[in-house]
Copies of this chain bind each other. A is one copy, B any other.
Amino acid sequence: MRKVSTGRFFEDFGIGQHLVHAIPRTLHGGDISAYMALTGARDALSSSTELARSLGFQREVMPDLLVFHIVFGKSVPDISHNATANLGYADVRFLRPVYPGDTLVAESEVIGLREVSSGEAGVVYVRTRGTNQKGQEVLSFVRWVMVPKRDHGAAKGVNSVPQLPAVVTADRLPVPESMNLQRFPDLAWAFGSTARWDDYEAGERLDHPDAMTIEESDHTQATRLYHNTAQVHFDARGMAETKAGKRLVYGGHVISVATALAQNGLNTQLKIAAWNGGAHVAPTFAGDTLRAFTQVIERAEIPTRRDVGALRLRLSAVKNVSYAELAQVPPLLSGTKEPRIVLELDYWALFPRR
């Protein structure tokens, strides 16, 4: 009986396969502190019990991205242990607030498989869900990864690519029912800015002034906090023999750091509602200094809500540029090749309205 797991290869996946991922994870108040120390996050609703309660939550909420990373991390041994690339995300929806004391369980379903032309690997599409201890779904997302075949020559002839929404439409954005911004005007000071949903304009670009240099301990501790065991982040000796030559920073850590940097400019962002898509367009390594800029793509009303609106934002993380240089970095969608951009994340966030 084989007891150690070295992960699945492309041949091991089949459409409709359902995998419940090991080790449920109870979140503590201290996880919020650890997450903040490791990434620089300062989400207002995660920072104060009283502030969160005043706006309709039970208590301080776990940071949205911490929830994402834990659900993602749990899926790694079953889905992407051998993956050579994390190709994309779609239809990522943050369905319910998670609180300290809640326990997350993750499960995935294989929804697509596509062999690549070389015949050496294939793309695996999964829908991954995170649920809390009451069985309520708190997060749902699709991701696809490149997974090598065990037997490089063997063609399977599989080609089933799922239909995925390019954008989560505004009517599908989860807005916590209990969230109530009636008292927001008295509490706006807590967010450090007076800008609300109404003040952002489609086409606007924000160059966030802060920068953050990443250390090996920062990203590896964060990644271990999420129970993510992907070896590319942890095995310096093994990675020395790869093209990169060193450990890769977990892409989710880049998203967290970039989001934390973007708080200066998006201060009243209440929470993330959904990601439309995202790409880790270049690797990040320890020693890199990250900066971020955000483009406002669209402003959407939330049906049935007058107190809160959604902004569709495109967050770009850029490495090793000064603040002055940042303003000159064109977004990827402009068509220019920009090797300093390491991340582009297209997401929806909720903001208070006037």
Interface residues of A (CB under 8 A from B): 1, 3-6, 20-26, 28-34, 36-40, 42, 44, 47-51, 60, 77, 100-101, 103, 133, 189-193, 195, 199-200, 206-213, 215-218, 220-222, 224-225, 227, 229, 231, 234-238, 247, 264-267, 287, 289, 320-323
CA distance A234 to B26 in the complex (A): 31
CA distance A272 to B133 in the complex (A): 27
- Closest Cβ neighbor of A218 among chain B residues: B217
Contacts of A1 in B (CB 8 A): 195, 199
Complex contact B29–A264 (CB within 8 A)? no
- Closest Cβ neighbor of A268 among chain B residues: B3
A-B contact pairs, 22 of them (CB 8 A): A1-B199, A3-B206, A5-B192, A22-B44, A22-B190, A22-B191, A22-B193, A26-B48, A28-B33, A28-B100, A29-B29, A30-B33, A31-B33, A36-B224, A37-B222, A39-B224, A210-B234, A211-B235, A213-B235, A213-B236, A213-B247, A215-B217
Contacts of A236 in B (CB 8 A): 213, 287, 289
Q: How many copies does the complex hold?
A: 3
Contacts of A247 in B (CB 8 A): 213
- Closest Cβ neighbor of A21 among chain B residues: B192
Complex contact A28–B36 (CB within 8 A)? no
A345 CB to nearest B CB, Å: 18
**Residue among A5, A22, A193, A321 with the highest chain B CB neighbour number at 10 A:** A22
The residue from B211, B215, B237 contacting A211, defined by CB atoms under 8 A apart: B237
**Residue among A231, A234, A322 with the highest chain B CB neighbour number at 10 A:** A234
Closest 9 CB pairs of A and B: A30-B30, A22-B192, A28-B29, A217-B217, A213-B236, A237-B289, A211-B235, A24-B48, A4-B265
With A237-B320, A237-B322, A264-B5 as known contacts, state yes or no: A220 contacts B220, CB within 8 Å: no
Contacts of A221 in B (CB 8 A): 37-38, 217-218
CA distance A323 to B193 in the complex (A): 49
Complex contact A23–B238 (CB within 8 A)? no
- Closest Cβ neighbor of A43 among chain B residues: B23
Complex contact B42–A101 (CB within 8 A)? no
A207 CB to nearest B CB, Å: 7
Complex contact A28–B32 (CB within 8 A)? yes
Contacts of A33 in B (CB 8 A): 28, 30-31, 34, 225
CA distance A211 to B238 in the complex (A): 8
The residue from B42, B215, B229, B234 contacting A216, defined by CB atoms under 8 A apart: B215
Complex contact A5–B289 (CB within 8 A)? no
